[in-house]
Structure 1
Amino acid sequence: MQVQTRVDVFESIFQVFLALGTLVGVVVVAYTLYNAYKYRDTDDAKADDSLPTLGELPTGGEGGKKLFLSFGISAIIVISLVIWTYGMLLYVEDPEDDFEEEPIDIEVVGNGFAWHFEYENGAQESGTMTVPADHPVAIQVTAGDVWHTFGITDLRVKADAIPGEHDETWFIAEDAGAEHEIECFELCGDQHTQMDGTVQVLEQDEFDQWLDERFHLDISFEDPEGEPINDTGPLTLELVHQENDEFDEDLAYSYTEEDFDNDTISIEDIEQGGEYDLVIEFEEEEFETIEDELSITSPSSETYTLGEEDEDEEDDDNDEDEENDEEADDDDENGGDDE
């Protein structure tokens, strides 16, 4: 079964109502003109039994058959339209049974006149929502400050963003390479018109690659002077998700000096975004153990400073600071004497 997009559904409803509205309009106007011509005032007017009499209900002739026939046809058309439209709107509200593929879940948060997006694997973006072409996308919309309304006009998407609540909807973007504008349809503050964004549509394989690269993490070392360190000796690096117990897969990663290249490592096998605990231990006593918390939701890099600053340089810095303080005190005293 071919899955209809929201654009297909609303375009079908619009076309049907436009066609019927045009047909009804043409019939009404034509019938009005016909009656205006038929019952026009002429000098040789003949008696017409079908003419309506003041104070009587027009029957349409033949015992009211035409009148009731027109009422019946109109009722059938209207009821059919209501049932058909209701069915189409029900599909828009809950189409998941018709999806051939599992939808991609994205949480949308409106906050501070910007849109933020979090994918089901923990990847995060701001301003740009990246999705695969011809694949259903399920979104849960909320807000962190005031009421907003998330909207993508091209894709017929509109959902209220209310603090503390989630409004769910979906869409399918068909054209790879296309970009669709995201807007806020709720007057939310003085920067309401700047609260926009973009839906970027990629081919499925390009999207998969993009998603895999969200958790790329580079780690390197430098000395207190900012120079790269390329010889730290044996070390171990442990990276563990803070909510590891809540996932089916093990989100703990271990690396040794063999995984480093010139004491730099590029970690590409992280599968879930979120908050991680990082521990790096060195066998060399001159380097202290590094413990850190990392928020891994997009490509990032971390550089850690190893070793202690040279004591002579620290003394020079302290002497320079003291001299600057003394000069500042002298300036204050001179300023007071001038007054």
Structure 2
Amino acid sequence: MQVLGERGTRVDVFEGIFMVFLALGTLVGVVVVAYTLYNAYKYRDTDERKDDESLPTLGELPTGGKGGKKLFLSFGISAIIVISLVVWTYGMLLYVEDPDDEFDQDPVEIDVEGDGFAWHFEYANGAEATGTMNVPADQPVAIEVTSGDVWHTFGISDLRVKADAIPGEYDDTWFMAEEAGAQHEIECFELCGDFHTQMTGTVNVMEQDEFETWLDDQLTLDVTIETEDGEAITNVTDEDFQLEIVHQDNDEYDADLEYTRDASDFEDGSVTIDEIEQGGEYDLTITFEDDDFETIEDTVGITDPASETYTVGDADEDTDDDANGTENEADDDETDDEDDDGGEN
């Protein structure tokens, strides 16, 4: 699938530049060496005296060469070649820096942070990963690189990617991997500390359908509710209850990031929420209709597959315990008063 212009991927661009310079360098080298050998042979030292106007004479300026036309011609051709190479190479590098106009489809956006001698990745939907960057084949990937501690340099040699990771600054670049199933090593190219050589990672290239499935599966939440005895809540009560999670930044998104599950959705005390559209911090609330159990409130981070287990206690028992505690405190106060009276007598 061709999703870029004729200039192709970063690998295509840099290999193209290399091959052009190699070809021209080889051509120029062959011409220069051949011309040098030709003149060395032509003006070799022999016993014969040749009547040649262009033959140089020791101590005199050469008078041949047709007024230096060859010299100026060689300079002119060299200048044209060098200027053309500079202009062409500059245009190719501008494309590498900003190829957005030539993308046939939207790139996958990934934020990259170097921190603690590891690479951390966050996708546009809020999913996060450490060490392994999963990307789709034949689709541009736009990355924004920064650092959480010291200076690093994010690099993928196979894909010709290199970007500075500096605290408080962001470096944008892109790449595209073409072979599904391939893996490419991520390295740090800036000496950053004792474990610099261990600051590596992997780019895992997946089929596009496989990547989309993986990305969706990252934002799932499994919730289990059980009693203090370890019994599934649905096995010990018929009471209706509701599980609700709401994104803490819900107002900042166009979609309504609020998801609910009723008791009928639970099986053996467990339920899975797998339609979450945006990762992040969620406020979780479990409420019981008849107040037989206490309401549960929690904050859950959903940036990769999450699983939470909650234990419910009998609200009546808690109330009785509180009442008993109050009565015991009252008895203790009465005893203290009697002791005080006895002491005064």
Which of the five TM-score ranges fits, normalised by the shorter chain? Answer: 0.7 to 0.9
Residues 33 and 119 of structure 1: CA distance in aligned 2, closer, same or farther (over 3 Å): same
Residue of structure 2 aligned with 1:222, choices 216, 226, 241: 226
1:147–1:161 contact (8 Å) kept in structure 2: yes
Residues 145 and 129 of structure 1: CA distance in aligned 2, closer, same or farther (over 3 Å): same
Residues 46 and 57 of structure 1: CA distance in aligned 2, closer, same or farther (over 3 Å): closer
2:294–2:314 contact (8 Å) kept in structure 1: no
Normalising to structure 2: TM-score of the pair? 0.86
Q: Give secondary structure in 2 for the equivalent of 1:278.
A: strand
Residue of structure 1 aligned with 2:102, choices 53, 76, 98: 98
Q: Tell me how far 1:224 sits from its aligned partner.
A: 2.8
CA distance in 2, matches of 1:34, 1:198: 54
CA distance in 1, matches of 2:196, 2:85: 38
Give the equivalent residue in structure 1 for 2:165: 161
Give the equivalent residue in structure 2 for 1:302: 308
Deviates more, 1:279-288 or 1:296-305: 279-288
Give the equivalent residue in structure 2 for 1:280: 286
1:59–1:67 contact (8 Å) kept in structure 2: no
Quote the RMSD (CA, aligned, Å).
2.0
Aligned residue pair count: 312
CA distance in 2, matches of 1:59, 1:145: 69
Q: Give secondary structure in 2 for the equivalent of 1:43.
A: coil
1:215–1:273 contact (8 Å) kept in structure 2: yes
CA distance in 2, matches of 1:59, 1:185: 57
Give the equivalent residue in structure 1 for 2:134: 130
Q: Give secondary structure in 2 for the equivalent of 1:230.
A: helix
1:224–1:308 contact (8 Å) kept in structure 2: no
How big is each residue's C-alpha offset from its partner over 1:230-256, in whole Å with a ceiling of 9 and x where there is no partner?
Answer: 334210111100000010111111221
Q: Map 1:247-286 to 2 at 5 A.
A: 247-286=253-292
Give the equivalent residue in structure 2 for 1:243: 249
* 1:24 partner amino acid: V
1:3–1:98 contact (8 Å) kept in structure 2: no
CA distance in 2, matches of 1:308, 1:57: 111
Is 2:17 the counterpart of 1:13?
yes
Is 2:37 the counterpart of 1:24?
no
CA distance in 2, matches of 1:59, 1:224: 108
Normalising to structure 1: TM-score of the pair? 0.87
Is 2:177 the counterpart of 1:186?
no
Give the equivalent residue in structure 2 for 1:66: 70
Deviates more, 1:32-41 or 1:104-113: 32-41
Q: Tell me how far 1:229 sits from its aligned partner.
A: 3.6
Residues 59 and 226 of structure 1: CA distance in aligned 2, closer, same or farther (over 3 Å): farther
CA distance in 2, matches of 1:58, 1:212: 79
CA distance in 1, matches of 2:160, 2:226: 51
* 1:297 partner amino acid: T
CA distance in 1, matches of 2:62, 2:307: 84
CA distance in 1, matches of 2:132, 2:85: 38
CA distance in 2, matches of 1:47, 1:115: 75
Deviates more, 1:258-267 or 1:158-167: 258-267
CA distance in 2, matches of 1:219, 1:284: 21
Q: Tell me how far 1:293 sits from its aligned partner.
A: 0.5
How big is each residue's C-alpha offset from its partner over 1:236-284, in whole Å with a ceiling of 9 and x where there is no partner?
Answer: 1111000000101111112211221122101111000011000000124
Deviates more, 1:46-55 or 1:85-94: 46-55
* 2:97 partner amino acid: E
Give the equivalent residue in structure 2 for 1:35: 39
CA distance in 1, matches of 2:29, 2:60: 27
Give the equivalent residue in structure 1 for 2:199: 195
2:53–2:64 contact (8 Å) kept in structure 1: no
Deviates more, 1:20-29 or 1:131-140: 20-29
Note the residue ranges of structure 1 that are not aligned, 5 or more in a row.
312-339
CA distance in 2, matches of 1:200, 1:56: 70
CA distance in 2, matches of 1:8, 1:117: 26
Give the equivalent residue in structure 1 for 2:327: none
Give the equivalent residue in structure 2 for 1:325: none
How big is each residue's C-alpha offset from its partner over 1:134-173, in whole Å with a ceiling of 9 and x where there is no partner?
Answer: 0000000000000000000000000000000000000000
Q: Give secondary structure in 2 for the equivalent of 1:276.
A: strand
Note the residue ranges of structure 2 that are not aligned, 5 or more in a row.
319-345
CA distance in 1, matches of 2:260, 2:83: 66
Q: Tell me how far 1:223 sits from its aligned partner.
A: 2.8
CA distance in 2, matches of 1:27, 1:43: 29
CA distance in 1, matches of 2:154, 2:162: 6
How big is each residue's C-alpha offset from its partner over 1:42-84, in whole Å with a ceiling of 9 and x where there is no partner?
Answer: 1113243213456777676112111111111111111110110
1:134–1:172 contact (8 Å) kept in structure 2: yes
Q: Tell me how far 1:194 sits from its aligned partner.
A: 0.6
